[in-house]
Amino acid sequence: MRRVRVGVVLMLTCLTACSIAREASRHSSPSPTTTPQPVALAVAPPSAPGLDGTAGMPPPTVCGSIDLAGLGRGMGGTLVARPYGWNDAGVPSLDLCALVLTRPGAPSRTVLVGVSALPQTSVARLAAPLGAGPIAAPGIGPDALRGPYGVAFTTDGRAVRITDAHGLKEFEATMLADAVAAVVPGAARTSRITDGACEPSGASAEQFLGGWAVLRRDYRIHSGLTCIWGTVAGTVAIVESVGVTQIPEARRDPRPARAPVGQEGYYLPEDGLLVFRSGRRVVRVSALADPPVAVTMDRLIDIVEPIMPLFLR
């Protein structure tokens, strides 16, 4: 019996020591020989499932402010705006909304409209979703770029991107750009939308941003809580998805590095992303900057740690 008690004591001592060692390791200064961290090159983190405008931030949205009847006729069909908006947590951070175009005898198409949540004059980081080889589109704007899937430009100090996964013809892109540009001055959202549940992580988010988060985008939808902090040069996001058990990022090849968070966690440095599962919740934590910077796993864990109890309940 005495041997059993001694064994238990030794085991508990080891567990405590190991825990202390791991915590010390997390917060210790890196060794001069530490391998450099990969730089996060992503424009925006992967989208949470279900973001299509049927839930999200309440109206009004840029899409709902357009003359939908007139624009629909010009595009040869019927145009409807989905009622809600959401934010992509990218750099620049875009407030998104969706238009659904229906033409006789053709399947419906969804057009995504994104407007930078802060004044932004560069469209360079918006170009990738436009498709291969985007070209200048001076008829839309002096800095406009047009590709097979859409157009990006600036208006009223905001960067705008309009895309359709099925492609946009030149006349469609031009008509949509004109309609969106006309409503941006009156329909762009205020810079700060906050939720008290996100506040405990604010200090850690602002440490990454290097100052006060002039942009906040906190909101709740049926699939979970979203917390976003941002500046013109960076964003930090915590996005919860409820009712899912799969992590698509885990199927990448090569498989991403495991992270000691939740029941299943992964760290993707090139995306500036930590993703983990707890029961039927998947949480994505991202930190991005322009110009790109390295984001360690420990930094991402530190950001989400203050509100972790929300996701473990």
Instruction: Name which residue leads in pLDDT, 125 or 139.
Output: 139
The count of domains in the chain is 2
Strands 192-193 and 215-217: what pairing?
parallel
Which one of 166, 187, 208 terminates a domain? 187
pLDDT of residue 79: 96
pLDDT of residue 34: 54
pLDDT of residue 312: 81
Please indicate, yes or no, whether residues 174 and 223 belong to a single structural domain of this protein: no
Find tokens 């939808």 and name the residue: 221
Q: How far apart are CA 189 and CA 65, in angstroms?
A: 12
Whether the predicted pLDDT of 1 surpasses 70: no
Strands 219-221 and 78-81: what pairing?
unpaired
Sign of the Cα torsion 202, 283, 55, 46 reads positive
User: In the predicted model, what is the mean pLDDT of residues 212-230?
Assistant: 93
Whether the predicted pLDDT of 31 surpasses 50: no
Give me the percent of the chain exceeding a pLDDT of 90: 72
Mean model confidence pLDDT for the chain: 87
User: Which residues constitute the domain of residue 281?
Assistant: 192-312
Whether the predicted pLDDT of 3 surpasses 70: no
Residue 27 maps to a domain: no
Please indicate, yes or no, whether residues 257 and 286 belong to a single structural domain of this protein: yes
pLDDT of residue 138: 95
Whether the predicted pLDDT of 28 surpasses 90: no
pLDDT of residue 208: 97
Which one of 187, 203, 226 terminates a domain? 187
Instruction: Name which residue leads in pLDDT, 87 or 19.
Output: 87
User: In the predicted model, what is the mean pLDDT of residues 7-31?
Assistant: 38
Q: Which residues contact 274 (CB under 8 A, 6 or more apart)?
A: 259, 261, 265, 266, 267, 268, 284, 285, 286, 297, 300, 301, 304
Tokens at residue 231, please?
A: 């500046």
pTM of the shown model:
0.85
Instruction: Name which residue leads in pLDDT, 225 or 27.
Output: 225
pLDDT of residue 37: 74
Q: How far apart are CA 20 and CA 14, in angstroms?
A: 10
Please indicate, yes or no, whether residues 199 and 183 belong to a single structural domain of this protein: no
Please indicate, yes or no, whether residues 199 and 296 belong to a single structural domain of this protein: yes
